[in-house]
Amino acid sequence: MAADLHRLAITAMAKTHSPYSGFPVGAAILTEDGRTYTGCNIENASYPEGWCAETTAISHMIMDGGGVIAEIAVVASKHPAITPCGGCRQRLAEFGKPATLVHLCNMDGVMETVTLGELLPKAFAMEDEK
């Protein structure tokens, strides 16, 4: 499935609106129940405001009823094996699990797969709020 997510992330990246950074990013999510969602980074004139590709994909998932993220692929045309930023790592932790697979990609394919727990070992969680 990682190769399929990579292809979906590349397709999403082609839709980016990144005129300020010139740094297009795409992401594709697979939920535990088999649905897929994509996203690209979308910037605006009050740069660095905007949202990341992972955030866009999560938004599409939530708008479709939510779910648990099983895997995500992230790709950037100008950076090999791009990782989600800190904010997106926390967003992924909100809707994923420590075992969620994060595929770090370049334009040719998956370069490395890590778990969300490895990327964000001490994520905030709702039970921390109590």
The residue from 54, 94, 127, 129 that is catalytic is 54
With vertex at residue 97, the alpha carbon angle to CA 91 and CA 70, rounded to the nearest 5 degrees, is 90
SS3 content of the chain, % helix, strand, coil (to 5): 30, 30, 40
> How far, in Å, are 63, 126, 130 from residue 26 at the CA level?
19, 28, 35
Query: CA 14, CA 26: separation in Å to the nearest integer?
Result: 8
Alpha carbons 96 and 81: distance in angstroms, whole number: 20
CA distance 24 to 116: 22
Catalytic annotation present for 43: no
Q: Which residue numbers are catalytic?
A: 54
